[in-house]
Structure 1
Amino acid sequence: MRFLVVGAGALGGYFGGRLLAAGEDVTFLLRPARAAQLAATGLSIRSPAGDLHLPSPPSVLAHRIKAPFDVVIVGCKAYDLDETLAAFAPAVGPDTVVLPLLNGLRHIDRLSKRFGRRRVLGGLGMISATLAADGVVLHLGQDHTLVFGELDGGRSARVDAIAHAFARANFDGRASESILQAMWEKWALIAALAGITTLMRASVGDIVEAGAQQLALDLFAECARIAAHNGFAPSPAAIQRGRATLTAAGSPITASMAKDIERGAPTEADHILGDLLRRGRWSTADTVLLPVAYANLKSYEARRARECGVPRAGELLAA
């Protein structure tokens, strides 16, 4: 099975590197700068699950893709999706499976429109990882889970084949027969975490210390109600995990969008908070905090565009 991993950042670098180390046929689709960096230094992962160094990981630039791959793993930022799918489109053939690891669901619609729904799986990554300035992939926690499955549920031969490949690698690869449920449950939590940590400009632990954890729980409840309105009410176990995450005393966790704001970068506000709000706008009369959190992020993007002279996230792609 031939895997094309789009990018070698935190997600692609980690899961793709683990697959390559396990002997799978993996090629990284890279931009020129990252390709030059990996050619010089190799791909390095630092992780509680074991460090890894791959001196010469196979890579390709978009214009050099000559034939379809069996599986394309996509872990880009949402605002880069249009550019990214144009880059890997030559790798998608009649039997190719596209496995995206983005949060939310809007990307599923866009990938399905471009390549056909039958070529797209659902997927999510549960991992805290970042790309260091020197290009090293830093795995920051214990979780390193990749969950995937057919959008319509159940199992299939292609899901079983991917699961077999993942089982050889040093991460937790899980085939799900209800991947949309899992994606909605993660989306509700990620939106709440992003909303509260960007509103407060603080970590979960700082918010708890300030006595404001109820705001985080109220925001999570709004997001969970929207999931339920769409037919994917989070399970009691998912609610319990989410509440524990958002109220953990001393937790250093912040959402990646909070880190984006700190470094003056674009955010996934539209993909994570905006799209969730659109899917639930009429589901309840007490969705109050989510619109405020979304407006906060859009205000940041407007200020960033004005002060830095850059388009808001997604505007380059929409132009």
Structure 2
Amino acid sequence: MRILTVGAGAVGGFFGARLAEAGQDVSFLVRPARAEALRARGLRVDGQGERLRLTPRLVTAGAPGGPYDLVLLSVKATALQSALADIGPAVGPGTAVVPLLNGMAQLDALVARLGAGAVLGGVAKVVTTLNEEGDILRMAPPAVILTGEIDGRPSARVDAIRTVLTGAGIDSPETGDIVAAMWHKWVFISTLVAFTCLMRGTVGEVNAVTGGPALAARLLAEAAAVSGAAGHPVPEAERAFTTATLTAPGSPLTPSLYRDLVAGVPTEADHVLTDLTVRARALGVATPLLDLAALHLRVHEHRLAAGRP
């Protein structure tokens, strides 16, 4: 299968490396700075028993090649619009595009740009980051990509993609309702983002003080209420997993958005939190704590736009 991974950061680089190591025909569409780093060091993945060393095939926005059978879109939300322009020539009549971003706005953007027939739903579950050298560090066991037709129907192309992913050691269980799965991941990540960013600490640091676990429960209740009102109630098992994750004593867990906030760089706040609160208003759901977290992050973005650290 010819595969284009758009982005070779912590998520796209990890999954693309797994697929290339398994013998798939993988190309990486990257920006010049990332391309320079990858040419110098190669694509490296370490941690959790992983040690991959690859010389990746790199393509540019001006010449992405194609058409491809599968496009894995793994850029940050702040780069979504430019990525949509870049991948146009890579998408042919038989191409399936799987977005691995958090949130839901990417589906509307992709369908508007490429047409509904090209777009699948997608959820990535992986805990990775880039170190100072640009190498990928795997920090926890999950390596999962969920995908499916947006309308929920079975399809041969989804089965073929899942087979390729599984063959590369990437868990890809059958998903009857990928849109619901995307909403449920959004509930998890928005709760985690609000929890850590509002309190400016890791999960363990917030839970070490009075009121920490209670805040996690209230944020989860708000996010889950939005998903439920949108027609995608969060199953009890997923709520229990999120609760356990956000109340774990001593946990060093932080989302990438929190790490961007602390580093003083632009974040995906509008895509992850602001969009959720806008949808909450349209659905008549009150989300005062999520609103506060979104406001907190908008101040950060405003400060950056004004040229202040």
With the length of structure 2 as denominator, give the TM-score of the two structures. 0.96
2-structure distance, mates of 1:218, 1:183 = 21
CA apart distance, 1:74: 0.5
1-structure distance, mates of 2:49, 2:104 = 30
CA apart distance, 1:33: 2.2
CA apart distance, 1:284: 4.9
CA RMSD of aligned residues (A): 1.4
2-structure distance, mates of 1:106, 1:283 = 16
Task: Report the CA distance shift for 1:49/1:178 in structure 2 as closer, same or farther (over 3 A).
Answer: farther
1:260 corresponds to which letter in structure 2? D
Segments ≥4 residues shifted beyond 6 Å: none
2-structure distance, mates of 1:190, 1:67 = 33
What are the within-5 Å matches in structure 2 for residues 235-246 of structure 1? 235-246=235-246
Asked if residue 147 in structure 1 is aligned to residue 140 in structure 2, the reply is: no
What are the within-5 Å matches in structure 2 for residues 42-191 of structure 1? 42-54=42-54, 56-191=55-190
1-structure distance, mates of 2:198, 2:283 = 23
Q: Once the two structures are superposed, what CA deviation does each residue of 1:177-198 show, in whole Å capped at 9, x if it has no partner?
A: 2111111111011111101111
CA apart distance, 1:35: 1.9
**Structure 2 residue runs without a partner (length 5+):** none
Asked if residue 3 in structure 1 is aligned to residue 14 in structure 2, the reply is: no
Q: Secondary structure at the match of 1:62?
A: coil
2:30/2:60 contact within 8 Å kept: yes
2:143 corresponds to which letter in structure 1? H
2-structure distance, mates of 1:228, 1:265 = 33
CA apart distance, 1:282: 4.9
Q: Once the two structures are superposed, what CA deviation does each residue of 1:233-282 show, in whole Å capped at 9, x if it has no partner?
A: 10011111111111111111112221111111111111111111111115
Who is 2:254 aligned against? 254
Q: Once the two structures are superposed, what CA deviation does each residue of 1:26-57 show, in whole Å capped at 9, x if it has no partner?
A: 11112222222222221110021421111x21
2:129 corresponds to which letter in structure 1? T
Who is 1:263 aligned against? 263
| Count of residue pairs the alignment pairs up | 308
2:97/2:119 contact within 8 Å kept: yes
CA apart distance, 1:109: 0.3
Task: Report the CA distance shift for 1:164/1:303 in structure 2 as closer, same or farther (over 3 A).
Answer: same
CA apart distance, 1:110: 0.3
Q: Secondary structure at the match of 2:306?
A: helix
Task: Report the CA distance shift for 1:59/1:306 in structure 2 as closer, same or farther (over 3 A).
Answer: same
% same residue: 43
1:16 corresponds to which letter in structure 2? G
1:253 corresponds to which letter in structure 2? L
2:229/2:285 contact within 8 Å kept: no
CA apart distance, 1:67: 3.0
1:159/1:175 contact within 8 Å kept: no
Task: Report the CA distance shift for 1:308/1:89 in structure 2 as closer, same or farther (over 3 A).
Answer: farther
With the length of structure 1 as denominator, give the TM-score of the two structures. 0.93
Who is 1:226 aligned against? 226
1-structure distance, mates of 2:86, 2:282 = 37
**Structure 1 residue runs without a partner (length 5+):** 310-319
Q: Once the two structures are superposed, what CA deviation does each residue of 1:161-204 show, in whole Å capped at 9, x if it has no partner?
A: 11111121122233412111111111011111101111100111
1:49/1:142 contact within 8 Å kept: no
1:144 corresponds to which letter in structure 2? A
